[in-house]
Structures are given as C-alpha cells and as structure tokens.
Structure 1
Amino acid sequence: MNYLLYNPLSNNGKGDEGKKKAIKDLNGQFPDLEEVDYTSIIFEDLAKDLQPGDNLILCGGDGTLNFFANDIKTYTVPEGVNYYLFPYGTGNDFVNDIKDKCLNLKLIEINKYLEKLPKVRVNGKETYFINNVGYGLDGMVCEVADEIRAKGKKPNYTSIAISLLRGKYERRNAKVTVDGVTKEFKEVWIAPAMNGRYYGGGMKATPEQNRLSGNLTCAVMYGQSRLHTITAFMGIFKGTHVKHTEMVEFLVGKHVHVEFDTPCALQIDGETYLDVKEYDAWYEE
C-alpha cells in the first residue's frame, strides 16, 4: 500500500495544497495513493494496518516530521515499511541539513534519519526531536511568533530576532554541562542543543554538526554588546558566526544539560515551551 500522510496545518495552513501537489508529482511512482489526514487519525491504528513493503509518504515540514518521529518511536511499526518525506513546510531545516546528500529533493527517503534520534526532557516531559532544542533568544523568538500567528498574521522570524536583540531580550547566566563537564557562561543569548546544522528556518548554527554521528552540539553565544552581537548574529545564516570565538563556543557530546538562572522560553523543532529553567538533551547508548 502507498499512504500519503499529510498535515493540513503545515506551511501556515496550506497543507491541502501540499497534498494536491504531492499527488500530482508522485502519481507515476506511487499510483493509488491513499490520502490520510494526520490531524484526524490515531497513529496507533494506522501502524497496525501497515505491512512490510508499504510506502508511507509524509507531506509537511519540520513540525510534522517531529510528530511523525515520535509516533513511530511510540507505536510498533513493522520492519520493512519505507518512509519518505515530501517537503512542504515553512522552515524545512531538516531538508536544508541533508540536501547535499539527496538525489531527489522532492521525495526524500528518511528511514536512516529516524533509526536513532535524541531525546529531550523539559518540565518533566520527554520527547524525541529531529533538528534542535532552542533555548534563550531563539525560544523567545518562537514565543513572539506564536503570539503574532494567533492574531492571524504571518511572523517574520528574522525580524523578530533582530528586534529582540536590540533590547527586548534579557540575557541569562547559564550552566552548561556536556558529558559531565560543566562550564558557566555570563549574559547568554542562545544555548541550543543541535542535532542538525540548521534551525530557525535557515540559520546554520552548528556548521560541523552531523545528525548521524550520535552526538549533539551545544552552541553558546554569550556576552558582548547588543550591537556587536547583532553583527555576529547575522553571520549565523551562512555559519560565519563561528569566527567570533570571543562570544561563541561549541560543546559536543552525547548528553547536554543547560540551566539558566531565570526561566525563559524554549522550542523543540519549532514547538514553544514557556517558563523553562533547564533542559536535558541526550542520545541513548
């Protein structure tokens, strides 16, 4: 069987358009696609119907992929089911990260990227994540974006970030522990745990990170004036912020624990959590 699992809420509510495009583009390779609205099913029921050799095509962006990854880790899916991604989201940081390894960006086989995933614990809740856990300025960007979206408007994440850098974001002091080694940082702007290289809709936060390595990279940006930070921060889109060693440090390991001295918003693959004091992110042995 060939299933098209689509999210009508993806791409700012344009998911139905993505579904139609997927059916049109994939008709030759996957005829008789069975359309499944991801928001209206219980995944456990679908998993029971899957058979080895079935093709499950996911139509959506990073948020949809995150939900899917957690579902297949929670419910038993038979071995031999093929997973594909038909990208149709707003950010698509996952695609940005792996596109150099893909022959066809319209349909990406994703089984190997879902075999082993990191987990994060926030406020007692554990979940798998695909791309990153963003904490600090990046978490607050998602908080403000949610508020703008709730008013029926489309947020511009870059504009929000620059506005917060100019004065609305209050820096925190942080303790960052990676594989048991703790470092303290003053006036922290961001302290994400990265599984891929990209986040925030195209920011190349950790250029050397490899999502298949079994390690995470915590990228800490700290100190310096707001003007200096804005200049350095603009380089994050191409990864050139790494040159600012006076205010950027990368810590690599299997277990990342970050604690702020005052709570702040946090995001997991774009989903916002408010008033977070600390988080744990790790790869299981």
Structure 2
Amino acid sequence: MKTYVVYNKKANNNQGVKGAFRIKDIWTTKDLIYKEVNEFDTYQELFDSLDKDDEVVICGGDGTLNYLVNDLDCDAVDNAIYYYPTGTGNDFWTDLGKTEEDPPMIINKYLRKLPVVKVNGMKRKFINGIGYGIDGYCCEVGDKQRAKDNGKQINYTSIAIKGLLFHYKPTKASVTVDGKLYAFDKTWLAPTMNGRCYGGGMYAAPDQDRLNPERTVTVMVMHSRGKIGTLAAFPSIFTGDHVKKKDIVTTIVGKSVRVEFDRPVALQIDGETVLNVREYEVETAEA
C-alpha cells in the first residue's frame, strides 16, 4: 500500500507546501509520497494509476476540494481519500467539527451524491455552498485585492461590512424551491448550502446536514429594507443565530432551487468567483 499526499502549493496564500508537510509529523509510520497538483493532468489520471489499496491525502482548501469533485468521478472511487486542510477558510473542515490539530480523515462519503449548480452556461458540483449577493461581492473584491498584492491576507469580514454600509446595493430576488415561488424586495444574501459553513466560518445554514438521507439543500435569504438593521444582524451569522431573526432571514429546504436577481452580481462556488450572474439553479442528487 502506498500513501500519496497531493498538495496545492498555492493554498493559503502560497503556504500550501508547509501545511502539507505537517503530515510527516502526524503520520510518522507511513512512507509518504508527495505530489504537487501540477504533476498530473487530471485527478482521474492519478486515480487510474493507483493500486486498489493505495490511499490519497488531498491537501488544500475548499477550492481544492471543489476542483477534485469536478475533475474526478468520486462516486466510482474505491481508494481511500483523506483530507487535510491547508487552505485559508477551510469551511468543509470546520463543518465537520475539526480543528487544525486533528489528523487527516477519510472523506469518501462526503464526496458522493453532491448537488450541482448551473450558472452562466456552466455546471459544477459543490462541496459547501453557493454564495449569491454580498458574499459573492466579497469574493469579487477579495480577488481584486489579491491580484494587486499577491500573498495579502484578505479580510472578508471587513469587505462585507464596508459593502453593507457603502458599496453593495440589495436586489429584488425570486427564489423557487421545489416549485414554490418566494419573492423578496431587498435581498442581501441568497446562498444555497450543502454544508453549514462558508466564507471562512460563517454558519449560513446551521441546521443543514450534508449527509442528510434525502440529500436536500438549504436556501438562506437575508432580506431587509435597512442597512443598519442588516449590519446589526450580520455578525450573528458567525454563530448561526441569524436564522432566529425571522423578520429578516428566511430559510427554505428542498431539492430543486432557482434563484434570480433583478441585476447581475457576483456569485461564488466554494469560494471561486463567477461574475455577472443574474440567476442560478441547483439540483440535488438522488437519495
């Protein structure tokens, strides 16, 4: 049996190598074979080359996992896939109740039967969630800041607060879940969540279970007429208490989702930005 450690050196502002090599201190009895992601063309190519009992440790962030599940048919993989977080937000790891002190864990069951988002002519599976609204705006601004100063630590909370106060304008939203239509006048957030967390520790859908038997997802809509009230409520998203504020937060559970805004804004898929989006659709896998 061979243990391959596949790492993304660009994760966590180019600190991915350092994070991946921590595994040597954790798994002292295993002979680890390190591979950087650019050493092979596709994950499918890598897994096709493995023996049956070989195992793979994926090191990176949520974006690395998103790339994995869209590059590899994880439903058909028999090899053990471990994960060790070396990214910035690491929301998948947080959602599992893990910390940076925990060793790599097998994640095969979390990579199967994933929901799919359709947006701007593209179809992508996602691990954590689809962010639409000010969360997509935050990713858009963060990308611009990173491009100006490569390696800079991006403060998404600060971007969100400034956006709420000055820059981001709410939209009208139509949300259709399992055929039922909901309309909202001033919408700040409208993510669809497979897990509980996104955005570096925001519990957007605290009751969502990524392994729920029916494979449903949760749409969370934050809607409010006033900036000050929204700003006052926003910090509670880091604990999940925002969903208790029924006057400005609506959560809807279902299997088929369509979200439409009245103007194009940025959207994020597991932290990866998609620009100029007016609508997206999510379909879940069969239970």
Asked whether the equivalents of residues 189 and 222 of structure 1 are also in contact (C-alpha less than 8 Å), the reply is yes
Give the number of equivalent residue pairs.
279
**TM-superposed deviation, 1:110:** 0.2
Kindly report which structure 2 residues correspond to 1:31-46, keeping only aligned pairs within 5 A, or say none.
Answer: 31-43=30-42, 44-46=44-46
**TM-superposed deviation, 1:129:** 0.4
TM-score using structure 2 length: 0.93
**TM-superposed deviation, 1:154:** 2.1
- Give 1:5's aligned residue: 6
Partner Cα distance (2:159, 2:38) in 1: 29
Structure 1 position 56 matched with structure 2 position 56: yes
- Give 1:218's aligned residue: 219
**TM-superposed deviation, 1:208:** 0.6
Asked whether the equivalents of residues 148 and 154 of structure 1 are also in contact (C-alpha less than 8 Å), the reply is no
Asked whether the equivalents of residues 8 and 39 of structure 1 are also in contact (C-alpha less than 8 Å), the reply is no
Amino acid at match of 1:209: Q
- What SS does structure 2 have at the residue aligned with 1:99? coil
**TM-superposed deviation, 1:27:** 2.9
Partner Cα distance (1:105, 1:247) in 2: 37
Partner Cα distance (2:251, 2:45) in 1: 42
Partner Cα distance (2:262, 2:225) in 1: 19
**TM-superposed deviation, 1:9:** 0.6
Kindly report which structure 2 residues correspond to 1:60-75, keeping only aligned pairs within 5 A, or say none.
Answer: 60-73=60-73
- Give 1:172's aligned residue: 171
- Give 1:96's aligned residue: 94
Structure 1 position 115 matched with structure 2 position 116: no
Task: List gaps (5 residues or longer) in structure 2.
Answer: none
Partner Cα distance (1:133, 1:231) in 2: 23
- Give 2:196's aligned residue: 197
Amino acid at match of 2:266: A
Runs of 4+ in 1 over 3 A off after TM superposition: none
Q: Pick from 90, 102, 106: which aligns with 1:105?
A: 102
**TM-superposed deviation, 1:113:** 0.5
Partner Cα distance (1:226, 1:5) in 2: 44
Amino acid at match of 1:39: N
- What SS does structure 2 have at the residue aligned with 1:199? coil
Structure 1 position 145 matched with structure 2 position 146: no
Partner Cα distance (1:108, 1:61) in 2: 14
Identity score, percent? 46
Task: List gaps (5 residues or longer) in structure 1.
Answer: none
TM-score using structure 1 length: 0.94
